[in-house]
Structure 1
Amino acid sequence: MTSGEDLVLIALVPRSGRIREADRLKYALRASVLVDLALAHRITMNANRIKVLDAARTGDGRLDSALASLSANSAPTLGSWIKDTPAGFGMVNRYLSILADQGVLHLERHRGRLAAPMLATLLDPARRDAAVARINRVARGRESDDADRALAGLIHACGLDRHLYRFSPLARMRISRLRSYQEVADSAASSAAVEEAAVAQIVAQAVSDGIAQLTAELGKLLRYEYRIEHTGAIDHHGTSPSHHGGYGDSGSGHHHGH
């Protein structure tokens, strides 16, 4: 299960089959690949530039493609890499198709609406529950790992936390205040042998700082990219994307299953 798959499952409204915050989600899915590479100790962040630590193939096509792209560039910035990566609802549909191939979802295309996420029927609620449980650990202040916190950072960047914890301001606050993964580095150092502790701390800190910076910078990019696209749609159509089928913000009256 990748970060992108968990993101899509959490964004899915089981009763209606629609995807919440799809306009923002398509950007987060592009960056989720970077988060997975950082968690695998393949990349890190330094002064907002992505540095490849290990260019060897991972065995996952999506990760290998991103890693090859990053290796071909000289420490690209997060913003430049995100902008140079294809976007659109096709990204959301790609992850929906992956989950359908795994037997987690059944998909139905919109008639006459190609530029929109497909409708999804959830076949494996346990998979979605497991993804939500990862965010719950962070939102409720329970013990969580680096991957859980990275996913929570992406969830916040998409605005999905306000749907998950609509009636829990404290939970939303815990997620929004995610800033550092120092405790991950401390844990790695304490669990390593004494002679390896210093090296473990350096490596863990580099990776955890990279993930923290990735999610923080992603939040900024999401706000910037979405604002541009959203404003452009209003200028061109005279209305906002959320009035065309309810695929954007949950303020649309077309959303169900909240």
Structure 2
Amino acid sequence: MEAALSLAEEITLLSLDDETGRPVGRAGMAPDRALAGALLMQLALAGRVDTDRDRLILVDAAPTGDEALDGALARLAAPGAPIDARGAIPLLARDAAAARAVILDRLVVRGILKRVDERLLWILPDRRYPKAPGRAEVTEARARLRALLMREEIPDPHDALLLGLARAAGLLPLIFSAAELARVQPWLEVVTRIESLNRSLAVAVADIRGAGIGTAQREA
């Protein structure tokens, strides 16, 4: 049985159009910061880092065996690394393109995505990652987030964090209609305030959502 998808893998999958395999959601730094947040939260869930109200504490710098996660861990273990979650997010976002490439390749190997290399105007290289039809992973995360809000369910830490990251990356309008978003707004506010790990990471997610986002772009 294959391992369940990680936070970073699920947010990457949600960030791709089902058919074209092109990025969706917000432009700018928000997707990179959302991926950085996913990696940081995975490290916290794995017991590699811990936080309190003001500090990010490196608990264990031993490699995890996950290339994207270990890259983030090495950044946090380097001299002069930020001492709080707010500072760690922009630091890890610098490596988001490399981490995303690792995650996309892993999803291709697992048969969840297909890699398509084409050329625009016969000159410019164009790579995209359409989702493989019939794979449960393609729709599973979206279905869980819908159930979480539509049925007003209490999430586990993984799904509470995934919801916050999806909101930060501007993906909720791609999962819910405008009417549905308006309807679930009260429960969305409750769920995204649940301290799944601790206050510091919750603040970091809020920072991701605010990064480079104008009020006209806010969906919920």
- Please classify the TM superposition score into its range, dividing by the shorter chain length: 0.7 to 0.9
**Structure 1 counterpart of 2:207:** 220
Residue matched to 2:40: 34
Match of 1:157 in 2: 168
Helix, strand or coil at the partner of 1:111? strand
Provide the TM-score with structure 1 as the length reference: 0.66
RMSD over aligned Cα, in angstroms? Answer: 2.9
Separation of aligned partners in 1, 2:163 and 2:117: 29
Q: Deviations over 1:2-60 (max 9, x none)?
A: 11110122222213332212532222112211111111222222234311233333222
Structure 1 gap ranges (5+):
185-207, 231-248, 252-258
- 1:165 and 1:172 in contact (8 A); partners too: no
Counterparts of residues 4-15 of structure 1 (less than 5 Å): 4-15=8-19
1:46-98 Cα shifts (integer Å, max 9, x gaps): 23431123333322222233223323346623343233332565554443222
Structure 2: which 5+ residue stretches go unaligned? none
Kindly indicate whether residue 87 of structure 2 is the aligned counterpart of residue 80 of structure 1. yes
* Contact in 2 for aligned 1:52/1:75 (Cα 8 Å): no
- 1:20 is aligned with what amino acid? V
Q: Distance in 1 between matches of 2:210 and 2:186?
A: 18
| Aligned residues with identical type, % of pairs | 24
Partner of 1:122: 131
105-114 vs 150-159, greater mean Cα deviation: 105-114
Displacement of 1:155 after TM fit?
A: 0.8
Q: Which amino acid aligns with 2:184?
A: A
Query: Quick one: structure 1 residues 128 and 51, their matched pair in 2 at CA, closer, same or farther if it must change by over 3 Å?
Result: same
Amino acid in structure 1 at the alignment position of 2:7: S
Q: TM-score, normalised on structure 2?
A: 0.75
Larger Rg: 1
Could you say if the C-alpha distance between residues 110 and 146 of structure 1 is closer, same or farther in structure 2, counting changes exceeding 3 Å?
same
Q: Note if contact 1:13-1:20 (Cα within 8 Å) is conserved in structure 2.
A: yes
Number of residue pairs matched by the alignment: 200
Q: Which has the higher helix share?
A: 1
Give matches, 1:13-52, under 5 Å. 13-21=17-25, 23=27, 24-52=30-58
